[in-house]
Amino acid sequence: MTDESFEDFALRIERRANELIAQAEAFGARQPRARGRPGNALTNTVLEEFRHVVFEQDNKWPAWIDDVLHGVCNLDWYRTSYTEDVGVSGTPEKIRAGLPLSKLSLRKVFTFLETINNFTVGALLKVDERQARRYVQAAKLALPLLERGKPRREKDELVSERSEEDQDQMDQGLRDSSSD
């Protein structure tokens, strides 16, 4: 590659990078609209638990969190009409044509946002307003389930942190009460 062609190549790359930066800044500068009905705004009450998993446990997600997010994400968020397709026996069969939401994106929403609304989700995930609305609705559905699972997690941690002496004392107490 000659010096002139390399300089042309570098200029094209720089020009394209500047265009992409301008697009990203314009997308991030979008302000919420002040008309219409007020949007959904959720307070993220499981933020600390999600940050604990990400930053202290190296993304080792508990199975119950994964189950909740998997169930919520696999709902038909696109309200696609059912299409007819030929079934195994050759008869028309109705199948779902929708795509699930991304579990990783929903995890990001719960990990990084204190207030979950269309604007903050769109800015975090870099998606349009309609897609952000789907993630807000998914978060609204998953939040009570995640809150219900939270005490179970804390109880499990308390049990695992007990010393062996405490466990021996509890076992001894159970044996004494059962021999009565």
At 98 the pLDDT is 63
Average pLDDT of the residues in 127-138: 91
Cα of 22 vs its chain's centroid, Å: 27
Q: What is the pTM of this model?
A: 0.59
Band (pLDDT 50/70/90 cuts) for residue 106 is: very high
> Which carries the bigger pLDDT value, residue 164 or residue 104?
104
Residue 107 has pLDDT above 90, yes or no: yes
- Tens of pLDDT, residue by residue over 53-91, are 888 877 788 888 889 999 999 887 766 555 555 544 454
Amino acid type, 58: D
Enumerate long-range contacts of 59-67, CB under 8 Å, 24 or more apart: 61/107, 62/153, 64/149, 64/152, 64/153, 65/146, 65/149, 66/103
User: Where residue 132 falls among pLDDT bands split at 50, 70, 90?
Assistant: very high
d(CA 8, CA 11): 5
- Spatial CA neighbour of 143 closest among 38, 39, 49: 49
* Residue carrying structure tokens 């696999």: 74
- Domain ranges in the chain? 41-161
CA distance 151 to 124: 28
Mean pLDDT of the 161-179 span = 55
Is the confidence at residue 4, as pLDDT, over 50? yes
CA 141/CA 68 separation, integer angstroms:
10
